[in-house]
Each structure stands twice: as structure tokens, then as C-alpha cells.
Amino acid sequence: MTACVPATPIPPPTPGTQTITIYFLDQNKFSSGEQPFEVAVTREIHQDANPIMAVLDAYFAGPTAEEASQGLVAIYSGFSGVRDLQTEDGIAYLYLEGQCQSMGAAYNIASLLIKNLTQFDEIQYVKIFDENGETENPEGPSNSIPGCLQP
């Protein structure tokens, strides 16, 4: 796993909290072709919160105003949130809400969701399901996206 330098300094955690990392697309890097396109930012959450769901919730909430002013964006590809998340044998099964719209984009929400979820040791692969519960490769140890996200 490649270490990323957060866009903003990480403050020390407050008692009773834990720090999570969320990846957003850096439009400036993407425009210039400078990889990685994803930039890590952090948030503090309650110590008892589920960090995986907190990362997904924070992603769908989008970057802060300060992060957005630095060129960070969330790509939604028509999706509005998470309907369900299950993990089993290193695979995250992610069911999304909304209406999938790739609009022919080669870079879409799938890249960012996979980056956000595979930062957790217990997740090696992500299978993303659209609003109809469909993904291209639902079985086996591999990443999978719904056909509607293909360019």
C-alpha cells in the first residue's frame, strides 16, 4: 500500500475520538495527469463509530469548503449514498443508492470507493452494486463495478 501525505496536517485525536482517512479526487492532479489522483484528508469521529461506514458517510458528504478550495472533489456518478455494506472473506459488498450515471467517464466513483475501502486491512476487494443490485463480477476475489459505470 502506498503511503499518502494528507492534504492538511493531522491534529492529535481528542479523547473519545478516532481519526479516519477519506480520499477525494484532486482535480488539479487529475487535469495535469499527476498520479495519484486521490488525496487523503482526515476527520475525527466518535471512538465507538464504525470507521468503515464513517469513511463512506464522509465521502458522500463531500470535501469541506477548505478542501474544495484546494481542488478536492467527490465524484458521485449519480449515486447518493450507501444502501448496505457487508464484508466477508476480505471482500466488501457495497450497495449504492441513487441512479448510476457514468456519462462515459473513464474515472468515476468506483476508483474512489475502492481506494477508500481498501485502506482497511480487512478489505482486499470491493464489489460495487448499483441501484438494481447489479455488478459485473459478483463472485470471487476481485474488484467489481456495475456495468453502468463502464465508459
In a domain, 95, yes or no: yes
Separation CA 126–CA 56 (nearest Å): 13
Question: What one-letter code names the amino acid at 87?
Answer: T
In a domain, 12, yes or no: no
Range of the domain at 83: 17-149
| Count of domains observed in the chain | 1
Catalogue the E-assigned strands of the chain: 17-26, 38-46, 72-73, 79-88, 91-98, 125-129
In a domain, 137, yes or no: yes
Percent of the chain whose pLDDT exceeds 90: 85
In a domain, 10, yes or no: no
Q: What is the pLDDT of residues 77-127, one digit of tens each?
A: 999 999 999 999 999 999 999 999 977 787 999 999 999 999 999 999 999
Label residue 2 by pLDDT band (50, 70, 90). Answer: very low
Span 34-44, average pLDDT: 96
pTM of the model: 0.88
